Amino acid sequence: MKEILQAMVNGILLGGMYSLIAVGLSLIWGVMRVINWAHGAMVMFSMYITFFAWSMFKIDPLLALPLVAIIMFVIGYLLQITLIERTLDSPWISRLCATFGLMMVLESLALLLWSSNWRAISVPYGNWTFCIGGIYISFSRLVAFSLALLMALVLNFFLNHTEMGKAIKATAQDREAAALMGINVNFIYRITFGLGLALTGVAGASLMTFYFVFPKVGFPFALTAYIVCVLGGLGRLNGAVLGGLIIGIAQSVSAYLISPEYKMVVSFVIFLAVLYFKPEGLFGGVTE
Amino acid sequence: MGKLKIIFQIKKVSKSFGGVKAINQVSFQVQEKKIIGLIGPNGAGKTTLFNLISGFLKSDEGHIYFQDRDITNLKPHKICQLGIGRTFQVVRPLSTLTVLENIITAALLRHNNYKEAKEYAIYIAQITGLTNELNKIAGGIPIAGKKRVGFAQALATGAKLLLLDEVAGGLNSTEVDKFLNIIRKISIEGLTIIMVEHVMKAVMNVANQILVLDHGELIAQGKPEEVINNEKVIKAYLGNQYKF
Amino acid sequence: MKKKAYPYKIFYIVFLLIILFLLPTFLKNPYFLDIAITVLLYAFLGNAWNIVGGYCGQASLGHAAYYGIGAYISTILFLKFGISPWIGMIVGAAFAGVLAIISGYPSLRMKGPYFVFFTIGFAETIRVLFLTWEWVEGSRGIIIPFENNPVNFIFFSKIPYYYIILIFLIIGMFITYSISKSKIGKYSVAIREDETMAKALGINTALYKSYAFAISASLMAIGGSFYAQYVLFIHPNNLMSLNNSVYFMLIAVAGGKGTLFGPLIGSATLMPLLEYFRSTLGGRFAGLGILFVGLIVMIIGTAAPEGIIGVLNKIRVRYSIGSKHNSIVREEK
């Protein structure tokens, strides 16, 4: 019993990461109807930035986090201008090619520049663990989880209570109406893509406090993020947060109860079941 | 009342979206070879009615009969196969194909052989005045042309009942006349037509009977002259401030 | 009176066929022959994907599952039941076709990205299932013992493999060609262009999507069996990977999705790049091939969605090379 509880706790903590990555993905889809197939690669990229900030300048990942987030925001903004914008009026397969091609380029660049060796950061608090009622909680994972939750709250506030945020929501609902109201849709798109990538930056930096990076590290995270998005409903940010926790728990518990290899199978079964029975996801997402 | 059969019947059909009743207990009958005009102010539910008849929407209650067969809630392709063809208010040609290929695709329903389908398509194109457009890419022609392609496609499926949704919209006077001649001709050849139109001249000149829809309800039906003077109809279009 | 454009295309095709059939006499080096076989194999697989992805517009990213299933079925039937892979290949194809219809059923109503997600999820599930399935050796993979025995579809030299895959490709492309001229093909294209409109034209879209899927999956499985007999080693991660699925799509899209020669052109362009970098440079530089392919894919996404054939067509129209004008309308007075 206690082991299952432990698994659940670990699952929740990891789930926070999934939520964070998924929220960015869901936001980009919700506003622009673009699936960013390079999202996982962006997580990988921000992890490398965090790593080099530490290895070259001795900056702690959590301190580097805001900087990484800003860098990823700028990269996202520029990518929107140079790449994504050209595909917005083309059929969706063009967007798939553009973002998938980007992923291929990023992963192979990472392999080229930094080799396939795993890189990790050793932080002074890396081994800190709490024990509450027999359940062990790793400090770094807890911090990462808290940051993820904090980001979700901040994003929520931003979207609902600021001018820019409301403009983003308006554009997501109806692009033409928003334009008619004087909203600069292209600018909103750029901000959105930047935001989505900034969130991957937060996730990447947080991950480096307890995980390791290698060129293909983004792939399993991205795959899970897609599952989370569908589970929560594409475009529904609350759903992405909740979905992340659910998948995190499901993976962790099934890894414990069955075997680690099966955790992806369980994720996929959930995924296929949602697609089949309730394709709009738990919260009723945007289908087209 | 005539010797002509009732080819189409709709009985007490309703459809709601959320809490809003878009179609409320609509009932009417159509005799074969007649031309029925379906008019009503914007938002009256005309296209919704077409969607219900052609199977793209599920009705909440009521029944629809075509050639004595209950077609209520059958799938759209099945309804087309049974002989009801339609056009869409927002035109949807198969954009990257040529006009000819568009019509051939429709003709393949009743002609399994590609060659036959092509010949039939050329014939249909001739009837609908598309002979000179056949090699053009359907996505690149003006809207009036696209509407005509949609009309040709509905014809080419071998439909016995045609649901035409604002095919005359955007045409100039001469084109409207040409269009009406085509309608009359195919009606004589045995087709039954229900046409939604805002172009009053079109519908009044050619229809045997007019149905008026307002807020999802059938508020009047009868000969064009009768309907045009119907108080309820005038109120529906112009609003209540016009007193009589 | 009908005017037909002079069928110059036939000459190009014959010319191409002659070159392809004579290729092994020029490529004595087994390394280059291997690349050629890979190009033809992926052209075959891209062509299979193209049937459902290009012509019918159902862009599946889960086709590697059928590729792998074909390989596993023919291999298991061979190694555990002594059935020749020639027969096992047909069994695999039939099984894949049926599986495609069954597994495709839930996805028939899914649109856009949901459909893509579903195909990815399905393929990954299959892959992980095979990884953990002991009876098919799971994560150890299966080695097919080498013997020079054509009856068992194993050859000493690469040359027979080359001709076999070449013939498979020709047959595969012929199937695609026949479909494109038939009712199935025309209906598939209608579904691709506008599924709602297709329904309004009396097309049972679920049925025709299933047809396209079944044919596509069956061909995929045949390709898988070929691969198994060529490489003599199969493993879920080599066969059923998302990577492979994406390559099948990319090859068709890069060449020109929905066209007959698209997959061949795409494969001939992309595969040599990938192969060259993968085998000559190793380690870190293995990624260079993928880098170039990634760039090509990005360019296609942003500037050339109709692929290489699309670009060639634009050039031809721009410079008005050749007369495309077929007068097909009968003049009636």
Domain ranges of chain C: 2-302
Do B94 and C189 count as a contact with CB atoms less than 8 A apart?
yes
* Residue pLDDT, tens place only, A17-30: 999 999 999 999 88
* Residue pLDDT, tens place only, A103-159: 999 998 998 888 888 988 888 887 888 888 778 888 888 888 888 889 888 988 888
- List of chain C residues whose C-beta atoms are within 8 Å of the C-beta of residue A95: 301
- Judge whether residue C88 has pLDDT over 80: yes
Q: What torsion, rounded to 10 degrees, do the Cα atoms C176, C96, C126, C231 define?
A: -70
Q: Which chains touch B (3 or more CB pairs under 8 A)?
A: C
* Residue pLDDT, tens place only, C90-126: 999 999 999 999 988 888 878 777 888 888 888 988 9
pLDDT for B189: 87
- Judge whether residue B236 has pLDDT over 80: no
Asked which of B52-56, C158-162, C262-266 is least confident by mean pLDDT, the reply is C158-162
pLDDT for C327: 33
- Confidence class for position A287, pLDDT limits 50, 70, 90: low
Tell me how many domains chain A contains: 1
- Judge whether residue C131 has pLDDT over 90: no
Q: Which chains touch A (3 or more CB pairs under 8 A)?
A: C
In a domain, A196, yes or no: yes
- Confidence class for position A9, pLDDT limits 50, 70, 90: confident
Distance from CA of B202 to the nearest CA of C (A): 25
Residues B209-214: what's their mean pLDDT?
A: 89
pLDDT for C331: 30
pLDDT for B2: 53
* Residue pLDDT, tens place only, A86-99: 888 887 788 888 99
Do B153 and C193 count as a contact with CB atoms less than 8 A apart?
no
pLDDT for B239: 63
Do C329 and B157 count as a contact with CB atoms less than 8 A apart?
no
pLDDT for B79: 93
* Contact exists between A and B (3 or more beta carbon pairs < 8 Å): no
CB neighbour burial string for C1-37, b if at least 16 within 10 angstroms, e if fewer: eeeeeeeeeeeeeeeeeeebeebbeebeeeebbbbbb
* Residue pLDDT, tens place only, C63-74: 999 999 999 999
pLDDT for C22: 83
Greater pLDDT, B87 or A288: B87
pLDDT for A91: 78
- Confidence class for position B107, pLDDT limits 50, 70, 90: very high
Residue B5: strand, helix, or coil: coil
Instruction: State whether residue C181 sits within 8 Å of chain B by CB.
Output: yes
Do C200 and B88 count as a contact with CB atoms less than 8 A apart?
yes
When CB atoms are compared, the residue of A104, A265, A287 closest to C294 is A104
- List of chain A residues whose C-beta atoms are within 8 Å of the C-beta of residue C297: 97-98, 100-101, 104
pLDDT for C3: 46
* Residue pLDDT, tens place only, B186-202: 888 889 999 998 877 78
- Judge whether residue A263 has pLDDT over 80: no
- Judge whether residue C171 has pLDDT over 50: yes
Do C106 and A271 count as a contact with CB atoms less than 8 A apart?
no
pLDDT for B229: 81
In a domain, A287, yes or no: no
- Judge whether residue A262 has pLDDT over 80: no
If phi over 0 gives left and psi between -120 and 50 gives alpha, with beta otherwise, what is residue A115?
left
Greater pLDDT, A219 or C327: A219
Rounded Cα distance between B127 and B123, Å, is 6
Pairing of strands B6-17, B61-66: antiparallel
Instruction: Determine the residue type at C276.
Output: Y
In sequence order, the β-bridge partners of residue C149 are C154
Long-range pairs for B201-205: beta carbons < 8 A, 24 or more residues apart: B201/B176, B202/B168, B202/B176, B203/B37, B203/B39, B204/B37, B204/B228, B205/B180
Residues C46-56: what's their mean pLDDT?
A: 93
Domain boundaries, position A58: 2-277
* Residue pLDDT, tens place only, A195-231: 999 999 999 999 998 889 999 899 888 888 988 988 8
- Judge whether residue C130 has pLDDT over 80: yes
Distance from CA of A161 to the nearest CA of C (A): 30
- Judge whether residue C329 has pLDDT over 60: no
- Judge whether residue A165 has pLDDT over 60: yes
Which domain CATH number covers A231?
1.10.3470
pLDDT for A140: 85
- List of chain C residues whose C-beta atoms are within 8 Å of the C-beta of residue A227: 121
Sheet of B61-66: strand order equals B20-31, B6-17, B61-66, B69-70
pLDDT for C1: 40
Optimal mutation site among B79, B90, B94, interface C, most CBs of chain C within 10 A = B94
Rounded Cα distance between C241 and C127, Å, is 7
pLDDT for A288: 46
Question: Could you tell me how far CA B201 lies from the centroid of its own chain?
Answer: 17
Across the B:C interface, residue pairs with CB atoms under 8 Å apart total: 77
* Residue pLDDT, tens place only, B2-24: 567 888 999 999 998 888 888 88
Rounded Cα distance between C293 and C281, Å, is 16
In a domain, A288, yes or no: no
Contacts of A115 (CB under 8 A, 6+ apart): C283, C284
Domain C2-302 classification at class level: mainly alpha
When CB atoms are compared, the residue of A94, A111, A262 closest to C287 is A111
Indicate the average pLDDT of chain C.
Answer: 85
Residues A59-81: what's their mean pLDDT?
A: 92
Long-range pairs for C142-148: beta carbons < 8 A, 24 or more residues apart: C142/C72, C142/C75, C142/C76, C142/C79, C142/C233, C142/C234, C142/C235, C143/C232, C143/C233, C144/C75, C144/C78, C144/C79, C144/C228, C144/C229, C144/C232, C144/C233, C144/C234, C145/C232, C146/C232
